[in-house]
Amino acid sequence: MDAESKRVMEYLVEVEEAAEDVLTDKQQIVDLDMKRNRNREALSALRNDMPDSKNVKVCFGNMFIKFPKSKTKEMIQNDQEQLDKEINDLRKSLKAKVNRLNEIQGKPELRGYRLSPLTADELTAINSLLRR
């Protein structure tokens, strides 16, 4: 293999690895989001479908265990917070990985891709300025 063929092969491997990184993160976000939606459904069922029950059956792995309703809600809410944090972390790292892939391919950086939403404090400050 001559030097140029070797360089092309290394380039293609680098692009493929970067693209695989991006696709893996995207799939992981989808999987975590599906789990978050199932948790949301479970919280809704606990709130609406079983208002008077004290214990509920919870599936852990391949077995069901009776658990107090309040503890179950608390566990699911904690899981939701953890899932939200993981999804946000993945989305932040995904931006960097997409930019790296574009850089490797010689494409320009995506414009506006590094934007982030306003926080509640920032929104309050803007609203107070607009009301004057």
How would CATH label the architecture of 3-131?
Orthogonal Bundle (1.10)
d(CA 19, CA 22): 5
- pLDDT value at position 116? 75
Instruction: Please give the mean pLDDT across all residues of the chain.
Output: 88
More confident position, 7 or 109? 7
Provide the residue ranges of all domains of the chain, joining segments of one domain with +: 3-131
> If DSSP codes are grouped into helix, strand and coil, which group holds residue 70?
helix
Nearest to 80 by CA among 39, 127, 121: 39
pTM of structure: 0.74
User: What is the distance between the terminal CA atoms of the chain, rounded to a whole angstrom?
Assistant: 71
- pLDDT value at position 114? 66
Per-residue pLDDT tens for 55-92?
888 888 899 999 898 899 999 999 999 999 999 999 98
d(CA 58, CA 33): 20
Tell me which amino acid residue 40 is.
R
- pLDDT value at position 61? 84
Residue 30 pLDDT > 90? yes
- Could you tell me which residues are beta bridge partners of residue 63? 60
